[in-house]
A and B are shown apart, each in its own frame.
Chain A
């Protein structure tokens, strides 16, 4: 019964693995190279033109003959065919490599699992020993041991196997540690399964993938080690491995006779096998342990603007400080349709105004904020709309022009300020850096005073200026981030959930601080949050987002007293109202939609208590409900 379950579970897993692996060129090339090498080794007698053991008819005139029709790769110091020896050499090199790797994997695997699983003294002892073995240089040690024993294939395999287990032991141990604390292992221990059973049934299957990658790398090290030992004259004189061929050629005059073939050919074999194994190992690693090779400095995708879609209506009266008009952002994934992360968002922001951007996590708030300064990850693309700041369209600027707007015009307070500050530079340096960049005329001698002033503004004492971020508490880091955002006197600050992950008291302090600064410095703030309480207290306007689109956009009073969109209504029900303490709080069942699987109609329809047929088929448009109040809901249209 149990066996049946495992087979049905592993077959698709292997197919899945193969499907991904097939597209990993590095791994595939390595795999093919290895298969070729093994094939050559297995069918050596059939492939080689001569019999390697035969010395018949060899005369001195056969020594170091250049490549010819009879000897495609020439002859060696004993007058033998290099190609034949090369093909048979694959057998020796691969055999030693595989057997030595096997021994070292068994030792490393067993020690690693024991250390990781049993912990305590055992682990301490094993890992300390591993550390020592890791430091002792392996080649000199191997040389000493083989010099003191007899250089035979058996001894070489043994020595390599006994010395190359250290990295395996370390990796297996850390993997075992990770697996050990997983739920199903804890459960198995709780119901009293034996330790051996747990190791065999639960830990080994999850350690195995790492062991496979490790095996590939250890085989390549072993092949290299064998060839090195042989080259240094410590190989088995009766087994002609590639390293041994090189040893003979180098030691017996191939260099002075100019017999390059005797030197090049065996080395080519070693490089082939080692490179194949390395590529295979890298490929396997990438497949089993995928990591995105993207980073923040990759060039962004060009902004596309669909003019036909653009709202023809021009804003009336004085233009606002920041105007976001019909902004849409897609995430582009090769091979699948783009994820429509943000669609058709518009809002305005005037001097000194505070707009709240509300929605559950994953509804595109952060994407929207990053796109304002074009800081999207490389997969993100602005596919429509404009961001107009002080009359300039930020989506049309070059990267250099944008750099002058960033921070001096609009700055950002990132969420989770721990990683937003560079851990190896002092907080003061990081604040001063922004000033130096944007205010080049700022007198250097008063720079330090300015940093102290900024820190003082957010309530951080001057002596913390030269401290590193890890010496700050969470709340202090967030405040330092705000001080940094204020450094160049920006007109707009984007605060992206600046209070998440902080305790309630600190949250209140930070919010109070932002509100105070807004009044004092006349800042306009875009405040991203999922906390409606904060919005009620501070904001002038609210934009409620759901699944990347506008649900409702209005003044804060309207949102609270006359919400039109069912999502806003549900959000308000989930938020405690102090005037009605007896009212029951409710939460919205379900989750926001996944961006790669958006519903056909209204994005909120699957969770909406008021949804009807039309909601599931047709996306509602943005309906204007008088003075700056916008809601996207079919019900609104019906009631209009």
Chain B
């Protein structure tokens, strides 16, 4: 019963946060300077009629929301308009139908562009995250077990250095090294690969993935190492470890049966919270390696002032992070008996 209340609390909170992000996403683009239509199509040859046509096409001729004609500059409008005929509710309505407007740049629906790119990012994050967690957790365990020895200090130093390196710079350096050593330097696959057998294609993608994944792993393993080290140190100084030792269990048995699961529990939450920051790292990695994912799409949209794509990408990224946080909460409640049975 209590567990249900816990879960429904978490789920409704996540939904509320998503709603907040949607509202923020809408108003951000209307409060900050620059009419989206004019900013998007900055061509001096456009006539007034052309601009008007674009405004109508993107629904920008309608009032933003009841009482407000526009927000930048603030222009008070009539309050007795049909709410469903305002930009805000049209936007919400379209979102519910999975429609996120049309790209200024390519004229394709934003939803189509993003869903194409989403999976490339998921693959990259997935591979990098798994490797970073494995390496970081192993290093952290080792470091905690050998606490206050020179081995511990060495791996602590490596982790702090890895943590301090800007992601994009590490990417640039690895790319520089890779380009001199015959590694593919851009994109996800070599052009013209589609005529080859599937296995060759996958091998090609793996080769392209190597450097971006390596960058990701190095940048995030330091953090996981530090967290695992401190979490395991906390656990290893608990009384029940002394009990286990008094029981005559070997160090390996104690680590395996009593320490690691307990130390991993807080890590689950931290990994999920980190996903928010991880997205920042992925944007940089994709930019450096021209990996055709959401991050590169965002940066491209930014440089072209393609606001519908930018808006859509931001929303998608934010919602993904919120959902993964929710997932971590649910996983935690399942893994930790103290939450499960209370």
Stretch from B28-36, B93-101, B132-140 at the A interface: B28-36
Contact of B236 among A137, A145, A220, A296 (CB under 8 A): A296
- For B72, give the chain A residue with the smallest CB separation: A148
Interface of B is mostly: helix
Closest to B301 in A: A147
**CB of A297 within 8 A of chain B?**
yes
**In the complex the two chains form, is B233's CB within 8 Å of A147's CB?**
no
**CB under 8 Å from chain B, chain A span 429-447:** 433-434, 437-438
What residues of chain A lie closer than 8 Å to B244, measured between beta carbons?
Answer: 422
Most buried by A among B240, B298, B342: B240
- Complex CA distance for A295 and B259, rounded to whole angstroms: 12
Q: Is the CB of B287 within 8 A of A135?
A: no
The segment from B52-60, B204-212, B248-256 found at the interface with A is B248-256
Residue of B160, B237, B298, B321 near A292 (CB, 8 A) is B237
Residue contact A271 to B233, C-beta cutoff 8 Å: no
By beta carbon, the residue of chain A nearest B325 is A135
A281 to chain B, nearest CB (A): 10
Q: Tell me if A293 is interfacial: C-beta within 8 Å of chain B.
A: yes
Across the interface, A140 reaches (CB within 8 A) one of B169, B261, B273, B313, namely B313
B287-299 vs A, CB cutoff 8 Å, 1 = contact: the mask equals 1100000000011
Establish whether residues A416 and B283, one from each chain, have CB atoms under 8 Å apart when the complex forms.
no
B284 in contact with A421 (CB, 8 Å): no
User: Taking A148-B33, A233-B303, A260-B176 as contacts, is the C-beta distance between A139 and B280 under 8 angstroms?
Assistant: yes
Q: Using Cβ atoms and an 8 Å threshold, which residues of chain A touch B261? A: 424
B245 touches A137 (CB 8 A): no
**Does chain B have a CB within 8 A of A419?**
yes
B:235-267 near A, CB below 8 Å: 236-251, 253-255, 257-258, 261-262, 265
- Is A263 a contact of B34 with CB atoms below 8 Å? no
- Residues from chain B with a CB closer than 8 A to the CB of A422 are 240, 243-244, 258, 262
A562 on the interface (CB 8 Å rule)?
no
- Asked whether any CB of chain A lies closer than 8 Å to the CB of B172, the reply is yes
A420 to B265 alpha-carbon distance, docked (Å): 19
B64 within 8 A of A: no
Write out the residue numbers on chain A whose beta carbons fall within 8 Å of the beta carbon of B239.
Answer: 414, 416, 419-420
* Residue-wise interface mask of B (150-169) relative to A, using a CB-CB cutoff of 8 A (1 in contact, 0 not): 00000000001101111111
Contact B148 A294 (CB under 8 A): yes
In the complex, the answer to whether B233 meets A278 with C-beta atoms within 8 Å is no
Residues on B with beta carbons closer than 8 Å to the beta carbon of A40: none
Assess A437 versus B248: contact at CB under 8 Å? Given A137-B277, A468-B341. Answer: yes
Distance of A224 Cα from B283 Cα, bound (Å):
14
Contacts of B161 in A (CB 8 A): 271, 275
In the complex, the answer to whether B164 meets A271 with C-beta atoms within 8 Å is yes
- Which residues on the B side are within 8 Å of A375 (C-beta)? 242, 245-246
Residues in B neighbouring A412, C-beta threshold 8 A = 243, 246
With contacts A136-B21, A139-B279 known, is A144 near B28, CB below 8 A? yes
Residue A228 CB within 8 A of the other chain: yes
Assembly CA distance A623 to B40 (angstroms): 98
B17 → chain A, closest Cβ, in Å? 5
B-contact bits for A280-313, CB 8 A (1 contact / 0 none): 0010000000001111111000000000000000
Question: Nearest Cβ distance between residue A36 and chain B, in whole angstroms?
Answer: 15
Q: Is the CB of A246 within 8 A of B169?
A: yes
Please, how many angstroms separate the alpha-carbon atoms of A19 and B289 in the complex? 48
Q: Indicate if the CB atoms of B33 and A468 lie closer than 8 Å.
A: no
| A270 at interface by CB-CB < 8 Å | yes
A405→B248 contact, CB < 8 A: yes
Among A135, A147, A424, contact of B337 (Cβ-Cβ < 8 Å): A424
A250 at the interface (CB under 8 A from B): yes
Q: Which of A520-571 contact B (CB under 8 A)?
A: none
A215-230 near B? 1/0 per residue, CB < 8 Å: 0000010001001100
Q: Which of A225-256 contact B (CB under 8 A)?
A: 227-228, 231-234, 243, 246, 250, 255
Q: Are B248 and A296 in contact (CB under 8 A)?
A: no
When the two chains form their complex, are residues A403 and B280 in contact, meaning their CB atoms are under 8 A apart? Answer: no
List residues of chain B with CB within 8 A of the CB of A421: 240, 243
From residue 185 to 223 of chain B, which have CB atoms closer than 8 A to chain A?
none
Q: For the complex, give the distance between the alpha carbons of A375 and B242 in Å.
A: 7
Q: Is A267 an interface residue (CB 8 A)?
A: yes
A404 within 8 A of B: yes
Closest chain A residue to B275 by CB distance? Answer: A137
Whether, in the assembled complex, A411 has its beta carbon less than 8 Å from a beta carbon of chain B, the answer is yes
Kindly state whether residue B117 has any CB partner on chain A within 8 Å.
no
* Interface hits, A191-208 → B, CB 8 Å: none
Given known A271-B165, A297-B254, contact A139–B283 (CB-CB < 8 A):
yes
Q: Are A271 and B166 in contact (CB under 8 A)?
A: yes
Q: Are B321 and A135 within 8 A (Cβ)?
A: yes
> Across the two chains, which residue of chain A brings its CB closest to B185?
A255
Question: Is B109 an interface residue, CB under 8 A from the partner?
Answer: no
B142 beta carbon closer than 8 Å to chain A: no
Q: Which of A139, A149, A407 has the most CB of B within 10 A?
A: A139
Given A136-B276, A137-B280, A139-B279, does the pair A471, B249 have CB atoms closer than 8 Å?
Answer: no
| Given contacts A232-B283, A250-B172, A267 and B246 within 8 Å (CB-CB) | no
Among candidates A137, A294, A296, A411, residue contacting B321 with C-beta atoms closer than 8 Å: A137
- How far is the CB of B109 from the nearest CB of chain A, in Å? 20
Chain B nearest CB from A402 CB (Å) reads: 8
Q: Are A231 and B165 within 8 A (Cβ)?
A: no
Chain B residues within 8 Å of A405, by CB: 248
Complex Cα–Cα for A135 and B168 (A): 22
Whether the Cβ atoms of B242 and A296 lie closer than 8 Å is yes
Query: What is the chain A residue whose CB lies nearest that of B226?
Result: A282
Contact of A140 with B298 in the complex, beta carbons under 8 Å: yes
> Smallest distance from the beta carbon of A256 to chain B beta carbons, Å?
8
Once the chains bind, are B166 and A228 in contact (CB under 8 Å)? yes
A233:B302 contact, CB within 8 angstroms: yes
Tell me, yes or no, whether B81 is within 8 Å of chain A by CB. no
Known: A419-B238, A424-B261. Contact between A296 and B245, CB under 8 A? yes
A300 CB to nearest B CB, Å:
10
Given contacts A263-B173, A424-B265, contact A437 B247 (CB under 8 A): yes
Given A278-B160, A424-B265, residue A138 in contact with residue B257 (CB < 8 A): no
Measured between alpha carbons, how far is A434 from B246 in the docked complex, in Å? Answer: 10
Q: Is A274 an interface residue when CB atoms closer than 8 A count as contact?
A: yes
Which of chain B's residues have a CB closer than 8 A to the CB of A434?
247-248
Please report the C-alpha to C-alpha distance between residue A399 and residue B274 in the assembled complex, in whole angstroms.
41
**Please, which residue of chain B has its CB at the minimum distance from the CB of A243?**
B166
| Distance (whole angstroms) from the CB of A398 to the closest CB of chain B | 12
Name the A residues within 8 Å of B180 (CB-CB): 258
Give the docked Cα–Cα distance between A294 and B284 (Å). 39
Are A433 and B321 in contact, with the CB atoms below 8 A? no
Instruction: Confirm or deny: B8 has a beta carbon within 8 angstroms of a beta carbon on chain A.
Output: no
Contact assessment for B242 and A140 in the assembled complex, using a CB-CB cutoff below 8 Å: no
Specify the chain B residue showing the minimal Cβ separation from A470.
Answer: B338
Query: What residue of chain B has the Cβ atom nearest to residue A415's Cβ?
Result: B239
Question: When the two chains form the complex, which single residue of A228, A255, A278, A402 contacts B175, counting CB atoms closer than 8 Å?
Answer: A255
Chain B residue at minimal CB-CB distance from A409: B248
Chain B positions within 8 Å of A, measured between CB atoms, are 17, 20-21, 24, 28-29, 32-34, 144-145, 147-148, 160-161, 163-169, 172-173, 175-176, 179-180, 233, 236-251, 253-255, 257-258, 261-262, 265, 273, 276-277, 279-280, 283-284, 287-288, 298-299, 302-303, 305, 310-311, 313-314, 317-318, 321-322, 325, 336-338, 341-342
Q: Could you list some 11 contacts between A and B, CB below 8 A?
A: A141-B318, A147-B310, A271-B169, A274-B164, A293-B147, A296-B241, A297-B145, A411-B247, A434-B248, A468-B337, A468-B341
What 6 new A-B contacts, CB under 8 Å, besides A141-B318, A228-B166, A406-B245?
A147-B302, A232-B302, A263-B173, A278-B160, A407-B248, A424-B337
Interface positions of A (Cβ within 8 A of B): 131-132, 134-141, 143-145, 147-150, 220, 224, 227-228, 231-234, 243, 246, 250, 255, 258, 260, 263-264, 267, 270-271, 274-275, 278-279, 282, 292-298, 373, 375, 400, 402-408, 411-412, 414, 416, 419-425, 433-434, 437-438, 468, 470-471
3 nearest A-B residue pairs (beta carbon): A139-B280, A295-B236, A406-B248
